[in-house]
Amino acid sequence: MKRGLITWDKAELPPSVFEARLAKAREALAEQDLPALLVYSDVWRSDEGRHLTNYMPYWNRSLIVIPREQEPVLLCGLSPRVYPWIKSVTIFEEIRPASKLVPTLLQFCSERGWTKLGVLDLSRLTHEIYAPLAACNLVISDVKLELTDEAEIAMHRRAEQMAREILTAELPKGAGLTDYQFSGLLERAFRRAGAEDLVLLFSTGDSAPRPARGAMLGDKYSVAVALEYRGHWARVTQGLPL
Amino acid sequence: MINQHRRTQLLELMTQRGWDSILLYGNAWRKDPFRSLVNFNFSGDHALARLSRSGEVAVTFSDPWDAENASARLEPEFARAFASGASAVAGLEFMEERFVAACGKLPVSATADVEELRRVKTAEEIGYIQQACDLADRGYQRFVEVAEPGMREFELVAEVEAFLKTNGAEDNFMLIASGGTEVVGMKPPTERKFQKGDSVTTELTPQVNGYYAQICRTLVLGEPSKEQLQAFGIFSEAQRAAQDLIKPGITAADAARAQNDVFRKHGYGDYTGAKYTRVRGHCLGLYPDETPHILEDVDYVLKQDMVVIAHPNTYLPLSGYMVFGDTLLLTESGNTRLNKTEKKLFVK
């Protein structure tokens, strides 16, 4: 789960990057004559929302609404007590509590007078959101966006560099340890360096890489690290001997 | 890997409901519906178990490494795994719509039925939760050992996470906060440095063999103030009230009311609502926040062998947000506290 450092370094990702991404989303809306874009976000499906707003849910689900003419709004399943923190790490100025996401969304659309809505990657919307939306009077349309830009690639490079440098330094320390012990060692190193999320898989050659299970690593093993750095994933695999 | 008790329960459920087949779907966030039948810790995006009326279980993964390690079917185009359709799906709500569409006829949701089956734990499941509780206790001990003024929140989380993984945790759900009366809730760690006098709160939820247990404690760095001590007295009394009351036959609402009444008695009833707190506890198992939630409007009757945490965590103007709670196993006539960590305001 995402429980590491979630932050927004504006020197690394300036607000202008998000402005450009939102402008691209609004262009797509204009092409399809849609008043707003809906982006689903949960603990696992966070990449699209993070790209557009820097929002990273550490728990629960949320809906991001990007109007064509106004600022984005977060319909949030989390408690209002954490909204100041969310505002400090995202572009959002308006967050609405939404313990019931779809009714809150429909109310919001009604307030704005919208009768149709674009949905980013409609077929990947979760059923609990899709089903009530499809059953209401709102016309929903699929919207595709290219979510890659130079800033995005640069962040993935940073994630990859962090993953590679730390794994290279730590890899020899696993010899003679169990995979549990080595995963602890790697967790400390990566999380102290600012990793947001981490998936570690180990192999000693007798199976495909798998999560730690208390097995001895011996002196020949490989580690696959999937690292999330400020919303951007990189995957690096290295083996010993190097 | 197959939970045989659950398979028997599901087959009975299928007979009752007239279902020919049931699917149990899991994704990287909500693995629990899948793992309730197939306790395999998959690392890819999607997993699906299909149980047919004959009792046969067929497992499909989207990731080749999972498929190889579990000797199961691989389906990178995961919508194809649903092509045979099904009568019912546990985890339907979490499925992407393209998967639902691939089923053909819309299946019934079995999520609520399966969650009800999961609430009452088997001896084996209780054993895993006890192991997770033991690890939570040791993890909190580590938390207290390591925390010190000048350290940043995320550095402390890194140390605790490392300890838990070293000692066999599959995963850990952890929230943290630090400071004084300005703190209104917990969240992921920030770069804030701990200061003398801080209340440092945490909710540790390690997972062992699929099952989560939780502990909530508050640590004061330095000598606690009169207000911190007074606040902890109220939290301690509220948690004790719930622990003394919880047994089979009472409702979740009863357990919530017992805690909230303590706050009301001390003049802090306003701080028991949604503005200042979330829930007064919840169930634990394959998901760290299982229902029913312990709230005054939840009339679910608790049963023997359910595992719940009672935690009166909330904001109080005395001390800011404070947490205190333990994992409890419902026994025939009461409950057993599965955590062994001392019930006190920790001071360092």
* B320 phi and psi angles, rounded to 5 deg: 85, -165
Q: Which residue of B has its CA nearest to A191?
A: B158
For residue A183, the chain B residues in CB contact (below 8 A) are: 165-166
* A233 phi and psi angles, rounded to 5 deg: -90, 150
For residue A58, the chain B residues in CB contact (below 8 A) are: 175, 187-188
Written as six digits, the tokens of B169 are: 């945790």
For residue B100, the chain A residues in CB contact (below 8 A) are: 127, 130
Based on the structure, what is the number of domains in chain A?
Answer: 2
Contact between chains at B97 and A123 (C-beta distance less than 8 A): yes
- Is the CB of residue A16 less than 8 Å away from at least one CB of chain B? no
Asked if residue B328 lies in contact with residue B246, where contact means CB atoms within 8 angstroms, the answer is: yes
- CA A16 to chain CA centroid, Å, is 20
Neighbouring-strand partners of residue A40: A63
Provide the ipTM.
0.95
Q: Does residue A241 have a cis bond before it (omega within 30 degrees)?
A: yes
Q: What are the angstrom distances between the C-alpha of B348 and each of B46, B147, B200, B222?
A: 44, 8, 11, 6
Structural domain of residue A99, as residue ranges?
15-143
Does A154 lie in the same domain as A135?
Answer: no
For residue B158, the chain A residues in CB contact (below 8 A) are: 4, 187-188, 191-192
* Three-state secondary-structure class, residue A127: helix
Q: Which residue of B has its CA nearest to A199?
A: B43
Contact between chains at A81 and B159 (C-beta distance less than 8 A): no
A3, A181, A214 ranked by CB distance to B188: nearest: A3
Contact between chains at A4 and B68 (C-beta distance less than 8 A): no
Say if A106 falls within a structural domain. Answer: yes
Does A104 lie in the same domain as A21?
Answer: yes
In chain B, where the domains are located? 4-119, 123-347
Say if A48 falls within a structural domain. Answer: yes
Predicted pLDDT of residue A1: 66
- Is the CB of residue B247 less than 8 Å away from at least one CB of chain A? no
Predicted pLDDT of residue A24: 97
Written as six digits, the tokens of A2 are: 């995402």
Does A42 lie in the same domain as A159?
Answer: no
Q: Which residue of A has its CA nearest to B278?
A: A79
Contact between chains at A3 and B175 (C-beta distance less than 8 A): yes
Partner A, chain B 116-145, Cβ-Cβ below 8 Å: none
Task: Compute the nearest-CA separation of B333 from chain A (Å).
Answer: 35
Task: Compute the nearest-CA separation of B173 from chain A (Å).
Answer: 6
Written as six digits, the tokens of B226 are: 């009169």
Asked if residue A193 lies in contact with residue B154, where contact means CB atoms within 8 angstroms, the answer is: no
Q: Which CATH superfamily is domain B4-119 in?
A: Creatinase/prolidase N-terminal domain (3.40.350.10)
In the predicted structure, residue A2 carries a pLDDT above the cut 90: no
Partner A, chain B 8-47, Cβ-Cβ below 8 Å: 27-29, 41, 43
Does A185 lie in the same domain as A136?
Answer: no
Number of H helices, E strands in chain B: 9, 17
Contact between chains at B166 and A181 (C-beta distance less than 8 A): yes
Asked if residue B312 lies in contact with residue B259, where contact means CB atoms within 8 angstroms, the answer is: yes
Does A138 lie in the same domain as A206?
Answer: no
Question: Tokens 């794994």 appear where?
Answer: A167
For residue B156, the chain A residues in CB contact (below 8 A) are: none
B123-347 has which CATH code? 3.90.230.10
Asked if residue B291 lies in contact with residue B36, where contact means CB atoms within 8 angstroms, the answer is: no
Q: What are the angstrom distances between the C-alpha of A120 and each of A28, A96, B171, B217?
A: 10, 20, 30, 41
Cα four-point dihedral sign B48, B175, B306, B281 = negative
- CA A169 to chain CA centroid, Å, is 27
Three-state DSSP string of B212-245:
ECCEEEEEECCCCCHHHHHHHHHHHHHHHHHHHH
Predicted pLDDT of residue A59: 87
Does A114 lie in the same domain as A42?
Answer: yes
Task: Compute the nearest-CA separation of A135 from chain B (Å).
Answer: 14
Rounded distance between C-alpha atoms, residue B43 and residue A209, angstroms: 10
In the predicted structure, residue A212 carries a pLDDT above the cut 70: yes
Asked if residue B268 lies in contact with residue B261, where contact means CB atoms within 8 angstroms, the answer is: no
- Is the CB of residue A6 less than 8 Å away from at least one CB of chain B? yes
Say if A4 falls within a structural domain. Answer: no
For residue B274, the chain A residues in CB contact (below 8 A) are: 79
Contact between chains at A180 and B96 (C-beta distance less than 8 A): no
Say if A50 falls within a structural domain. Answer: yes
Longest alpha-carbon distance in chain B: 65
In the predicted structure, residue A50 carries a pLDDT above the cut 70: yes
Which of A110, A125, A143 delimits the end of a domain? A143
Does A128 lie in the same domain as A29?
Answer: yes
Does A128 lie in the same domain as A87?
Answer: yes
Task: Compute the nearest-CA separation of A200 from chain B (Å).
Answer: 9
Does A114 lie in the same domain as A27?
Answer: yes
Short-list A162, A127, A144, CA closest to A24: A144
Task: Compute the nearest-CA separation of B274 from chain A (Å).
Answer: 8
Partner A, chain B 163-182, Cβ-Cβ below 8 Å: 163-168, 170-175
Kind of pairing between the strands at A139-143 and A197-203: unpaired
> Which CATH number goes with the domain that contains A202?
3.90.230.10
Rounded distance between C-alpha atoms, residue B218 and residue B93, angstroms: 36
Written as six digits, the tokens of B267 are: 């003049």
Does A63 lie in the same domain as A118?
Answer: yes
Rounded distance between C-alpha atoms, residue A218 and residue A107, angstroms: 59
Task: Compute the nearest-CA separation of B215 from chain A (Å).
Answer: 16
Does A63 lie in the same domain as A170?
Answer: no
Written as six digits, the tokens of A49 are: 């929302």
Asked whether the whole model's pTM tops 0.90, one would answer yes
Contact between chains at B97 and A183 (C-beta distance less than 8 A): no
Q: What is the dihedral of CA B65, B68, B73, B79, to 10 degrees?
A: 0
Predicted pLDDT of residue A125: 97
**pLDDT per residue of chain B (348 residues) written in tens, 0 to 9:** 999 999 999 999 999 999 999 999 999 999 999 999 999 999 999 999 999 999 999 999 999 999 999 999 999 999 999 999 999 999 999 999 999 999 999 999 999 999 999 999 999 999 999 999 999 999 999 999 999 999 999 999 999 999 999 999 999 999 999 999 999 999 999 999 999 999 999 999 999 999 999 999 999 999 999 999 999 999 999 999 999 999 999 999 999 999 999 999 999 999 999 899 999 999 999 999 999 999 999 999 999 999 999 999 999 999 999 999 999 999 999 999 999 999 999 999
Predicted pLDDT of residue B141: 98
- Best to test chain B binding among A62, A187, A225 (most B CBs inside 10 Å): A187
Which of A99, A121, A143 delimits the end of a domain? A143
Contacts of A153 (CB under 8 A, 6+ apart): none
Does A160 lie in the same domain as A62?
Answer: no
Say if A9 falls within a structural domain. Answer: no
Contacts of A49 (CB under 8 A, 6+ apart): A39, A40, A41, A55, A56, A57, A62, A64
